[in-house]
Amino acid sequence: MARPVTTIEDLRIKAKRRVPKMFYDYADSGSWTETTYRANETDFAAIRLRQRVAVDMRNRSLASTMAGQPVSMPVALAPTGLTGMQHADGEILAAKAAEKAGIPFTLSTMSICSIEDVAEHTTRPFWFQLYVMKDRAFARALMDRAKAAGCSALVLTLDLQVLGQRHKDIVNGLTTPPKPTLANILNLATKPHWCLGMLGTNRRTFRNIAGHAEGVSDMSSLSAWTAEQFDPALSWDDVKEIKDYWGGTLILKGILDAEDARNAAASGADAIIVSNHGGRQLDGALSSIAALPAIVEAVGERIEVLMDGGVRTGQDVLKAVALGAKGVFIGRAFLYGLGAGGQAGVEKAIEIIAKELDVTMALCGHRDIGNVGKEILVPGTYPTAEPAPFLRGAAAPGTA
Protein backbone atom coordinates (compact mmCIF):
# COMPACT_ATOMS: atom_id res chain seq x y z
CA MET A 1 0.00 0.00 0.00
CA ALA A 2 1.43 3.36 -1.04
CA ARG A 3 2.31 5.79 1.71
CA PRO A 4 -0.12 8.75 1.69
CA VAL A 5 1.26 12.12 0.65
CA THR A 6 1.14 14.48 3.64
CA THR A 7 3.98 16.96 3.05
CA ILE A 8 5.72 18.87 0.28
CA GLU A 9 8.74 16.66 0.98
CA ASP A 10 6.67 13.60 0.05
CA LEU A 11 5.91 15.26 -3.30
CA ARG A 12 9.60 16.10 -3.80
CA ILE A 13 10.59 12.46 -3.37
CA LYS A 14 7.97 11.33 -5.88
CA ALA A 15 8.98 14.03 -8.35
CA LYS A 16 12.64 12.99 -8.14
CA ARG A 17 11.62 9.46 -9.17
CA ARG A 18 9.48 10.61 -12.10
CA VAL A 19 11.26 13.63 -13.62
CA PRO A 20 14.41 13.30 -15.79
CA LYS A 21 17.54 14.21 -13.85
CA MET A 22 18.41 17.40 -15.75
CA PHE A 23 14.96 18.89 -15.20
CA TYR A 24 14.64 17.75 -11.60
CA ASP A 25 18.08 19.23 -10.88
CA TYR A 26 17.10 22.46 -12.65
CA ALA A 27 14.23 22.87 -10.18
CA ASP A 28 15.99 21.59 -7.09
CA SER A 29 19.36 23.36 -7.04
CA GLY A 30 21.09 26.67 -6.51
CA SER A 31 24.15 28.47 -7.81
CA TRP A 32 27.79 27.90 -6.83
CA THR A 33 27.93 26.28 -3.36
CA GLU A 34 24.13 26.48 -2.89
CA THR A 35 24.64 28.25 0.46
CA THR A 36 21.88 30.79 -0.17
CA TYR A 37 19.62 28.09 -1.62
CA ARG A 38 19.92 26.13 1.65
CA ALA A 39 19.65 29.24 3.83
CA ASN A 40 16.26 30.05 2.32
CA GLU A 41 14.90 26.96 4.07
CA THR A 42 17.08 26.78 7.20
CA ASP A 43 16.46 30.41 8.17
CA PHE A 44 12.72 29.74 8.07
CA ALA A 45 13.22 26.66 10.24
CA ALA A 46 15.09 28.68 12.88
CA ILE A 47 12.04 30.85 13.57
CA ARG A 48 9.92 29.61 16.49
CA LEU A 49 6.19 30.07 16.96
CA ARG A 50 4.27 31.01 20.12
CA GLN A 51 1.54 28.48 20.91
CA ARG A 52 -1.61 29.99 22.41
CA VAL A 53 -4.47 28.18 24.16
CA ALA A 54 -8.02 28.84 25.35
CA VAL A 55 -8.75 31.18 22.44
CA ASP A 56 -11.68 30.99 20.05
CA MET A 57 -10.47 29.18 16.94
CA ARG A 58 -13.79 29.00 15.10
CA ASN A 59 -14.65 30.65 11.77
CA ARG A 60 -11.09 31.03 10.53
CA SER A 61 -10.26 32.86 7.30
CA LEU A 62 -7.14 32.82 5.13
CA ALA A 63 -8.69 35.18 2.54
CA SER A 64 -6.56 38.16 1.62
CA THR A 65 -5.41 40.25 -1.34
CA MET A 66 -2.16 40.27 -3.32
CA ALA A 67 -1.33 43.19 -5.60
CA GLY A 68 -4.90 44.39 -5.17
CA GLN A 69 -6.48 41.10 -6.21
CA PRO A 70 -8.54 38.85 -3.92
CA VAL A 71 -6.96 35.50 -3.05
CA SER A 72 -8.18 32.52 -1.02
CA MET A 73 -4.90 32.65 0.93
CA PRO A 74 -1.82 34.89 0.65
CA VAL A 75 -0.01 32.54 -1.72
CA ALA A 76 0.71 32.69 -5.47
CA LEU A 77 2.46 30.27 -7.81
CA ALA A 78 5.82 31.78 -8.76
CA PRO A 79 7.10 32.15 -12.32
CA THR A 80 9.39 29.18 -12.96
CA GLY A 81 11.23 28.46 -16.17
CA LEU A 82 10.86 25.13 -18.00
CA THR A 83 7.79 24.22 -15.94
CA GLY A 84 6.49 22.22 -18.89
CA MET A 85 9.56 19.99 -18.62
CA GLN A 86 8.64 18.86 -15.11
CA HIS A 87 5.47 17.40 -16.62
CA ALA A 88 3.93 17.64 -20.07
CA ASP A 89 1.92 20.87 -20.46
CA GLY A 90 3.06 21.81 -16.97
CA GLU A 91 2.21 25.52 -17.09
CA ILE A 92 -1.34 24.80 -18.24
CA LEU A 93 -1.85 22.23 -15.49
CA ALA A 94 -0.40 24.48 -12.78
CA ALA A 95 -2.52 27.42 -13.93
CA LYS A 96 -5.66 25.28 -13.78
CA ALA A 97 -4.77 24.10 -10.27
CA ALA A 98 -4.18 27.68 -9.11
CA GLU A 99 -7.45 28.80 -10.67
CA LYS A 100 -9.30 26.02 -8.85
CA ALA A 101 -7.70 27.06 -5.55
CA GLY A 102 -8.39 30.77 -6.01
CA ILE A 103 -4.75 31.89 -6.01
CA PRO A 104 -2.67 33.62 -8.72
CA PHE A 105 -0.56 31.73 -11.24
CA THR A 106 2.44 33.51 -12.77
CA LEU A 107 3.70 32.43 -16.19
CA SER A 108 7.43 32.76 -16.87
CA THR A 109 8.81 34.25 -20.07
CA MET A 110 10.93 31.07 -20.19
CA SER A 111 7.91 28.78 -20.08
CA ILE A 112 7.30 25.80 -22.32
CA CYS A 113 3.59 26.54 -22.77
CA SER A 114 2.98 29.98 -24.23
CA ILE A 115 0.90 32.89 -22.96
CA GLU A 116 -1.78 31.91 -25.48
CA ASP A 117 -1.64 28.23 -24.45
CA VAL A 118 -2.39 29.09 -20.83
CA ALA A 119 -5.08 31.64 -21.73
CA GLU A 120 -6.83 29.05 -23.89
CA HIS A 121 -7.14 26.62 -20.97
CA THR A 122 -8.06 28.99 -18.12
CA THR A 123 -10.92 31.37 -17.41
CA ARG A 124 -9.42 33.62 -14.70
CA PRO A 125 -6.70 36.20 -15.41
CA PHE A 126 -3.17 35.04 -14.62
CA TRP A 127 0.03 37.03 -14.15
CA PHE A 128 2.93 37.21 -16.61
CA GLN A 129 6.63 37.50 -15.74
CA LEU A 130 8.99 39.50 -17.97
CA TYR A 131 12.76 39.98 -18.14
CA VAL A 132 14.35 43.25 -19.29
CA MET A 133 15.68 42.40 -22.75
CA LYS A 134 18.02 44.04 -25.21
CA ASP A 135 15.37 43.58 -27.89
CA ARG A 136 12.88 46.13 -26.55
CA ALA A 137 10.49 45.51 -29.44
CA PHE A 138 10.25 41.84 -28.50
CA ALA A 139 9.70 42.74 -24.84
CA ARG A 140 6.90 45.10 -25.83
CA ALA A 141 5.42 42.38 -28.03
CA LEU A 142 5.40 40.01 -25.05
CA MET A 143 3.56 42.64 -22.99
CA ASP A 144 1.08 43.14 -25.82
CA ARG A 145 0.43 39.41 -25.94
CA ALA A 146 -0.03 39.33 -22.16
CA LYS A 147 -2.53 42.18 -22.36
CA ALA A 148 -4.41 40.40 -25.16
CA ALA A 149 -4.55 37.26 -23.01
CA GLY A 150 -6.08 39.25 -20.14
CA CYS A 151 -3.11 39.01 -17.78
CA SER A 152 -3.93 41.15 -14.75
CA ALA A 153 -0.39 41.86 -13.51
CA LEU A 154 3.13 42.02 -14.91
CA VAL A 155 5.96 40.62 -12.77
CA LEU A 156 9.25 42.18 -13.86
CA THR A 157 12.32 40.20 -12.77
CA LEU A 158 15.30 42.41 -11.95
CA ASP A 159 17.90 39.98 -10.56
CA LEU A 160 18.85 38.12 -13.74
CA GLN A 161 20.81 40.62 -15.80
CA VAL A 162 23.49 37.93 -16.01
CA LEU A 163 23.00 34.24 -15.30
CA GLY A 164 24.39 32.88 -12.04
CA GLN A 165 26.65 29.85 -12.41
CA ARG A 166 24.47 26.82 -11.77
CA HIS A 167 26.81 23.88 -11.63
CA LYS A 168 24.23 21.11 -11.93
CA ASP A 169 22.78 22.63 -15.09
CA ILE A 170 26.27 22.83 -16.58
CA VAL A 171 27.13 19.24 -15.65
CA ASN A 172 23.78 17.96 -16.96
CA GLY A 173 24.08 19.88 -20.23
CA LEU A 174 20.59 21.30 -19.71
CA THR A 175 18.64 21.68 -22.97
CA THR A 176 14.98 21.74 -23.93
CA PRO A 177 14.13 19.12 -25.03
CA PRO A 178 16.98 16.85 -23.84
CA LYS A 179 19.66 16.11 -26.41
CA PRO A 180 19.75 12.40 -27.41
CA THR A 181 23.01 11.58 -25.64
CA LEU A 182 23.63 8.11 -24.20
CA ALA A 183 23.34 9.43 -20.64
CA ASN A 184 20.04 11.17 -21.40
CA ILE A 185 18.60 8.15 -23.19
CA LEU A 186 19.50 5.86 -20.28
CA ASN A 187 17.96 8.28 -17.80
CA LEU A 188 14.79 8.76 -19.85
CA ALA A 189 14.39 4.99 -20.01
CA THR A 190 13.76 5.05 -16.26
CA LYS A 191 11.06 7.76 -16.58
CA PRO A 192 8.29 6.12 -18.67
CA HIS A 193 5.46 8.23 -17.22
CA TRP A 194 7.26 11.45 -18.16
CA CYS A 195 8.12 10.18 -21.63
CA LEU A 196 4.54 9.13 -22.40
CA GLY A 197 3.33 12.58 -21.37
CA MET A 198 5.83 14.30 -23.63
CA LEU A 199 4.88 12.08 -26.56
CA GLY A 200 1.33 13.30 -26.13
CA THR A 201 2.07 17.02 -26.47
CA ASN A 202 3.74 19.28 -29.04
CA ARG A 203 4.80 21.77 -26.35
CA ARG A 204 8.49 20.97 -25.87
CA THR A 205 10.36 24.24 -26.39
CA PHE A 206 10.17 27.89 -25.28
CA ARG A 207 6.87 28.73 -26.96
CA ASN A 208 6.79 32.35 -25.81
CA ILE A 209 9.95 32.84 -27.85
CA ALA A 210 9.93 30.27 -30.67
CA GLY A 211 8.42 31.83 -33.76
CA HIS A 212 8.26 35.25 -32.12
CA ALA A 213 11.87 36.37 -31.54
CA GLU A 214 14.25 37.07 -34.40
CA GLY A 215 17.90 36.09 -34.56
CA VAL A 216 17.88 33.60 -31.67
CA SER A 217 20.64 31.12 -32.44
CA ASP A 218 19.76 28.32 -30.00
CA MET A 219 16.21 27.89 -28.78
CA SER A 220 17.02 24.78 -26.74
CA SER A 221 19.41 26.49 -24.33
CA LEU A 222 18.34 28.79 -21.52
CA SER A 223 21.90 29.99 -21.05
CA ALA A 224 22.24 30.85 -24.77
CA TRP A 225 19.04 32.88 -24.72
CA THR A 226 19.97 34.78 -21.58
CA ALA A 227 23.43 35.56 -22.93
CA GLU A 228 21.88 36.95 -26.11
CA GLN A 229 18.88 38.80 -24.74
CA PHE A 230 18.95 39.66 -21.03
CA ASP A 231 20.12 43.24 -20.65
CA PRO A 232 23.09 43.82 -18.31
CA ALA A 233 22.57 47.58 -18.71
CA LEU A 234 19.20 47.49 -16.91
CA SER A 235 18.38 50.74 -15.07
CA TRP A 236 15.52 52.19 -13.05
CA ASP A 237 14.65 54.30 -16.09
CA ASP A 238 13.96 51.03 -17.93
CA VAL A 239 11.63 49.99 -15.12
CA LYS A 240 9.69 53.24 -15.40
CA GLU A 241 9.50 52.84 -19.18
CA ILE A 242 8.07 49.34 -18.80
CA LYS A 243 5.60 50.56 -16.18
CA ASP A 244 4.37 53.25 -18.57
CA TYR A 245 4.06 50.85 -21.49
CA TRP A 246 2.31 48.12 -19.48
CA GLY A 247 -0.08 50.57 -17.86
CA GLY A 248 -1.41 48.08 -15.34
CA THR A 249 -0.33 46.42 -12.11
CA LEU A 250 3.46 46.05 -11.98
CA ILE A 251 5.29 43.82 -9.48
CA LEU A 252 9.10 43.99 -9.24
CA LYS A 253 10.80 40.69 -8.42
CA GLY A 254 14.31 40.26 -7.07
CA ILE A 255 14.58 42.94 -4.38
CA LEU A 256 16.95 41.96 -1.55
CA ASP A 257 18.26 45.31 -0.32
CA ALA A 258 16.49 48.20 1.41
CA GLU A 259 18.04 50.79 -0.91
CA ASP A 260 16.80 48.89 -3.95
CA ALA A 261 13.41 48.64 -2.29
CA ARG A 262 13.26 52.44 -1.95
CA ASN A 263 14.17 52.80 -5.63
CA ALA A 264 11.45 50.30 -6.49
CA ALA A 265 8.87 52.24 -4.51
CA ALA A 266 9.91 55.44 -6.31
CA SER A 267 9.59 53.76 -9.72
CA GLY A 268 5.80 53.65 -9.56
CA ALA A 269 5.56 49.87 -9.18
CA ASP A 270 2.61 48.49 -7.25
CA ALA A 271 4.43 45.75 -5.31
CA ILE A 272 7.84 44.17 -4.84
CA ILE A 273 8.91 40.58 -4.26
CA VAL A 274 11.74 40.10 -1.78
CA SER A 275 13.64 37.35 -3.58
CA ASN A 276 17.10 35.94 -4.27
CA HIS A 277 15.85 33.92 -7.25
CA GLY A 278 15.55 30.79 -5.15
CA GLY A 279 19.27 30.88 -4.38
CA ARG A 280 20.05 30.52 -8.09
CA GLN A 281 21.79 33.86 -8.66
CA LEU A 282 24.09 35.46 -6.04
CA ASP A 283 25.31 32.68 -3.78
CA GLY A 284 26.18 34.08 -0.36
CA ALA A 285 23.33 36.59 -0.44
CA LEU A 286 20.88 36.80 2.44
CA SER A 287 17.99 34.40 2.55
CA SER A 288 14.74 36.04 1.53
CA ILE A 289 13.20 35.73 5.00
CA ALA A 290 16.32 37.30 6.59
CA ALA A 291 16.14 40.22 4.17
CA LEU A 292 12.40 40.75 4.56
CA PRO A 293 12.15 42.77 7.83
CA ALA A 294 14.59 45.51 6.76
CA ILE A 295 12.72 45.95 3.48
CA VAL A 296 9.34 46.06 5.20
CA GLU A 297 10.69 48.69 7.58
CA ALA A 298 12.11 50.74 4.69
CA VAL A 299 9.13 50.74 2.31
CA GLY A 300 6.25 48.80 3.85
CA GLU A 301 4.16 51.95 4.17
CA ARG A 302 4.78 52.95 0.53
CA ILE A 303 4.51 49.75 -1.49
CA GLU A 304 3.15 46.24 -1.02
CA VAL A 305 5.88 43.79 0.02
CA LEU A 306 5.68 40.14 -1.08
CA MET A 307 8.38 37.47 -0.85
CA ASP A 308 9.56 34.12 -2.19
CA GLY A 309 12.37 31.70 -1.45
CA GLY A 310 12.40 28.63 0.78
CA VAL A 311 8.64 28.40 1.35
CA ARG A 312 7.93 24.69 1.77
CA THR A 313 5.17 24.69 4.40
CA GLY A 314 2.14 26.63 5.49
CA GLN A 315 4.11 27.53 8.60
CA ASP A 316 6.65 29.30 6.38
CA VAL A 317 3.81 31.31 4.85
CA LEU A 318 2.59 32.32 8.30
CA LYS A 319 6.10 33.32 9.43
CA ALA A 320 6.55 35.51 6.35
CA VAL A 321 3.20 37.20 6.93
CA ALA A 322 4.09 37.75 10.59
CA LEU A 323 7.26 39.54 9.47
CA GLY A 324 5.35 41.90 7.20
CA ALA A 325 4.89 40.15 3.85
CA LYS A 326 1.48 40.70 2.29
CA GLY A 327 1.84 37.33 0.59
CA VAL A 328 4.33 34.75 -0.64
CA PHE A 329 5.13 32.96 -3.89
CA ILE A 330 5.82 29.23 -3.98
CA GLY A 331 7.99 27.79 -6.75
CA ARG A 332 9.67 24.50 -5.90
CA ALA A 333 6.75 23.42 -3.71
CA PHE A 334 4.33 23.40 -6.63
CA LEU A 335 6.97 22.07 -9.07
CA TYR A 336 7.43 19.01 -6.84
CA GLY A 337 3.68 18.47 -6.98
CA LEU A 338 3.65 18.90 -10.74
CA GLY A 339 6.48 16.44 -11.26
CA ALA A 340 4.90 13.97 -8.87
CA GLY A 341 1.40 13.99 -10.29
CA GLY A 342 0.56 16.68 -12.84
CA GLN A 343 -2.38 18.93 -12.05
CA ALA A 344 -3.52 16.69 -9.18
CA GLY A 345 -0.03 16.98 -7.70
CA VAL A 346 -0.11 20.78 -7.83
CA GLU A 347 -3.56 20.75 -6.26
CA LYS A 348 -2.17 18.53 -3.50
CA ALA A 349 0.74 20.90 -2.90
CA ILE A 350 -1.62 23.86 -2.59
CA GLU A 351 -3.91 21.84 -0.30
CA ILE A 352 -0.98 20.92 1.96
CA ILE A 353 0.19 24.53 2.24
CA ALA A 354 -3.35 25.77 2.97
CA LYS A 355 -3.99 23.12 5.65
CA GLU A 356 -0.69 23.77 7.41
CA LEU A 357 -1.27 27.53 7.27
CA ASP A 358 -4.80 27.26 8.67
CA VAL A 359 -3.96 24.90 11.55
CA THR A 360 -0.79 26.77 12.53
CA MET A 361 -2.59 30.11 12.51
CA ALA A 362 -5.22 28.65 14.84
CA LEU A 363 -2.65 27.17 17.24
CA CYS A 364 -0.95 30.57 17.36
CA GLY A 365 -4.22 32.11 18.53
CA HIS A 366 -5.55 33.77 15.37
CA ARG A 367 -8.65 33.34 13.22
CA ASP A 368 -7.95 35.90 10.46
CA ILE A 369 -4.71 35.96 8.47
CA GLY A 370 -5.06 39.74 8.22
CA ASN A 371 -4.48 40.11 11.95
CA VAL A 372 -1.28 38.07 12.16
CA GLY A 373 1.86 39.94 13.27
CA LYS A 374 5.17 39.43 15.04
CA GLU A 375 3.37 38.58 18.26
CA ILE A 376 3.07 34.97 17.06
CA LEU A 377 6.88 34.59 16.92
CA VAL A 378 9.25 33.84 19.80
CA PRO A 379 11.53 36.87 20.35
CA GLY A 380 15.15 36.26 19.49
CA THR A 381 14.41 33.52 16.97
CA TYR A 382 13.39 35.64 14.01
CA PRO A 383 15.26 38.14 11.80
CA THR A 384 14.84 41.86 12.37
CA ALA A 385 15.61 44.96 10.34
CA GLU A 386 19.22 44.37 11.43
CA PRO A 387 19.63 40.73 10.40
CA ALA A 388 23.21 40.15 11.52
CA PRO A 389 22.36 38.88 15.07
CA PHE A 390 19.88 36.39 13.62
CA LEU A 391 22.56 35.03 11.30
CA ARG A 392 25.41 35.00 13.82
CA GLY A 393 27.08 31.62 13.72
CA ALA A 394 25.77 30.80 10.25
CA ALA A 395 28.24 29.04 7.99
CA ALA A 396 30.18 31.15 5.53
CA PRO A 397 29.56 30.51 1.83
CA GLY A 398 31.22 27.30 0.73
CA THR A 399 31.62 25.86 4.26
CA ALA A 400 28.14 24.49 4.93
For the chain, give the mean pLDDT.
93
Q: pLDDT confidence of 220, banded at 50, 70, 90?
A: low
pLDDT given at position 216: 65
Catalytic residue among 121, 167, 277, 366: 277
- Kindly tell me the burial class for residue 123, based on how many C-beta atoms sit within 10 Å of its own C-beta (0-12, 13-18, 19 or more): exposed
Closest C-alpha to 86, from 11, 37, 127, 27: 27
Question: Within 13 Å and on the Cβ side, how many CA atoms surround 239?
Answer: 25
pLDDT on residue 175: 84
Phi, psi of 377 (to 5 degrees): -105, 145
Q: Does the domain formed by 8-391 have CATH 3.20.20.70?
A: yes
Would residue 277 show up in a list of annotated catalytic residues for this protein?
A: yes
Structural domain spans, the chain: 8-391
pLDDT at 399: 40
Give 170 or 217, the one with higher predicted confidence: 170
> Does residue 227 surpass a pLDDT of 80?
no
Share of the chain above pLDDT 70, in %: 93
Q: Map residue 224 onto helix, strand or coil.
A: helix
User: pLDDT for 151-189, tens place per residue?
Assistant: 999 999 999 988 898 999 889 888 888 888 899 999 999
Question: Helix axis angle, 35-46 relative to 314-322, nearest 10°?
Answer: 80
- Predicted TM-score of the model (pTM): 0.94
Angstrom distance (rounded) from CA 397 to CA 400 = 7
Contacts of 154 (CB under 8 A, 6+ apart): 127, 128, 129, 130, 143, 146, 242, 246, 248, 249, 250, 251
**How does pLDDT run across 69-120, given as a tens digit for each residue?**
999 999 999 999 999 999 999 999 999 999 999 999 999 999 999 999 999 9
Grade residue 397 by pLDDT with cuts at 50, 70 and 90. Answer: very low
